[in-house]
Amino acid sequence: MPERILLKAFGMLAEKMGTDTLEVKNPGSSEVLKQQLLAQFPELKDMTFRMALDRKLLQADTDISQGQEIALLPPFSGG
C-alpha cells in the first residue's frame, strides 16, 4: 500500500485550490511534490508560496517521510 501524506493549504492558496486539506500519495521529496501540485493546480504557477515540513519552512529539496505534515504557505500578512 503506497504511503499517503496530508497536505494543508492556507490563505490565497487554499482559496485557489478550493480546499485547505489534500491527501496525496507521498512522492518522496518536496520538489517532486511541488511539481505534481503545479501540474494538478496550474493556477499555482502564478503564485508565490513556500512549503513547510513539520511546521518548519523548507529551504531546499527535502525528503518526506510518512506521517509528516506538509503545508503550502502564501506570503505572510499578519500584524
Give the residue with the Cβ less far from other proteins, 66 or 77.
77
> Tell me, what DSSP letter sits at residue 78?
-
Burial label, 53 (beta-carbon count in 10 A; 0-12, 13-18, 19+): middle
Between CA 71 and CA 56 the distance in angstroms is 9
Binding residue for other proteins, selected from 24, 31, 34, 73, defined by CB under 8 A: 73
> Using the rule CB under 8 A, is 53 a contact of other proteins?
no
Interface mask toward other proteins for 13-32; x: CB under 8 A: --x-----------------
Joined together, the cell numbers standing for residue 52 give: 513547510
The minimum distance between CB 3 and other proteins, in angstroms, equals 22
